[in-house]
Amino acid sequence: MNSRRNFLQKITATAIAFQLPDLILASTDEADQQLYEGPILRVAIMGLGSYGTRVADAMQASKKAKLVAAISGTPSKLKDWQSKYNIPEKNCYNYETFDAIKDNPDIDAVYIITPNALHKDQAIRVANAGKHVICEKPMSINAKDGQAMIDACKKNNVKLLVGYRMHFEPKTLEIIRMRKDGELGKVLFFQGLCGFTIGNPTQWRLNKALAGGGAMMDIGIYAINGARYMIGEEPIWVTAQETKTNPEKFKTGVDETIQFQLGFPSGAVASCLSTYTMNNLDRFFLNAEKGFAELLPSTGYGPIKGRTNKGELNYPHVTHQTVQMDEMAGIILEGKQPIVPVDGEEGLKDLKIIDAIFLAVKTGKKVPLKL
């Protein structure tokens, strides 16, 4: 018992020092789960596909967030969710009727997990209903639409958060802490490799009208966002090159593989790869004057594995979406400030970079960035 107590004391002190998410320390012990008596964020999930289900399952372990409603265009999914997650029928809506959430006091926020091109209109409708918006990344398909979402949420005095689950991941946060504290020295280089071989050619992710692109709008955004929080600066230019080996599967406007490079004010550079045709690509590497940091895998559902020049990074794995929802509840209900932002302005920066990457591919030129 003493050894367990000592271990818990050490890990608690470490987490406080690093400002890591509360849930890193969470126990599955029922008594521990009952200790939290603060406000609960009551969430509706919009889009009941595979990732919506993953989030819903993860929320069953949340202390600060509770799934209370569902929005879908498929009646059978709504019936299944009513049974599986104990959602009352009055809290189930379709895409035509969900504006009625305005009159439902059970719902505080809506988590939008639908195809990218639908995010803008759906987020605006949720904001107009007076509910907080949580939107899966990318926030939308371009910066113009992203700005419209931000404006609508500001107008309605509701928060807009983006599903950047890695912003709460402990090994990621430890590398950020080391960089901030100067332990790595001046950052010189970042590499982000993100890709997998995509399957069904008829899925929405390969439909430009719904996805807004291809791999870049799905997996590539991890490298874009990762370059920014790992280096700790905003890029000032981008160059990019596209490779397409299967134009039948990856039609016009749907990128298969893009290599892109980012330049930062300090002189640091990032070299990144986004692809739908290569497996085993999930690696971040940061090189600096005094050391290095690596995450491999870097953005998968976990466990994330990390090491630096000082050794392996060891933190217990907690389901990312569970941590994300508890942390977002803290942001919305308690005004908590995350170490790495997850708000609409953060999402807009990534969209501006994506717009610039597509422009760089099209023109073959270095495109300046002003974020």
Q: Give me the CATH number covering residue 191.
A: 3.30.360.10
Asked whether residue 86 falls in the same domain as residue 151, the answer is yes
Assigned domain for 269 exists: yes
Assigned domain for 202 exists: yes
Asked whether residue 130 falls in the same domain as residue 220, the answer is no
Asked whether residue 239 falls in the same domain as residue 144, the answer is no
Asked whether residue 350 falls in the same domain as residue 236, the answer is yes
For residue 53, the one-letter residue type is T
Asked whether residue 85 falls in the same domain as residue 131, the answer is yes
Assigned domain for 173 exists: no
The token pair that represents 232 in the structure block:
């700790």
Q: What pLDDT sits at residue 1?
A: 41
Nearest-angstrom CA–CA distance, 9 and 13: 6
Asked whether residue 102 falls in the same domain as residue 197, the answer is no
Q: What pLDDT sits at residue 35?
A: 82
Nearest-angstrom CA–CA distance, 297 and 306: 8
Assigned domain for 98 exists: yes
Which residues of the chain are modeled with pLDDT < 50?
1-19, 21-33
Assigned domain for 94 exists: yes
Instruction: Residue 95: give the domain boundaries.
Output: 36-162
pTM above 0.95, yes or no: no
Assigned domain for 85 exists: yes
Asked whether residue 53 falls in the same domain as residue 122, the answer is yes
Q: What pLDDT sits at residue 176?
A: 98
Asked whether residue 44 falls in the same domain as residue 113, the answer is yes
Count the domains in the chain: 2
Q: What pLDDT sits at residue 346?
A: 98
Asked whether residue 220 falls in the same domain as residue 364, the answer is yes
Please report, for the domain that includes residue 48, its CATH number: 3.40.50.720
Closest CA to 249 of 213, 181, 202: 202
Q: Are strands 109-112 and 367-368 parallel, antiparallel or unpaired?
A: unpaired
Asked whether residue 242 falls in the same domain as residue 360, the answer is yes
Residue after which a domain boundary falls, among 96, 129, 162: 162
> Who's near 131: CB < 8 A, 6+ residues apart?
44, 101, 102, 107, 108, 109, 110, 158
Asked whether residue 141 falls in the same domain as residue 195, the answer is no
Q: Are strands 109-112 and 41-46 parallel, antiparallel or unpaired?
A: parallel
The pLDDT tens digits of the residues spanning 205-218 come to 999 999 999 999 99
Annotated active-site positions, please? 137, 222
Asked whether residue 222 falls in the same domain as residue 275, the answer is yes
Q: What pLDDT sits at residue 24?
A: 44
Assigned domain for 179 exists: no
- Whether the bond into 88 is cis, omega within 30 of 0: no
Assigned domain for 74 exists: yes
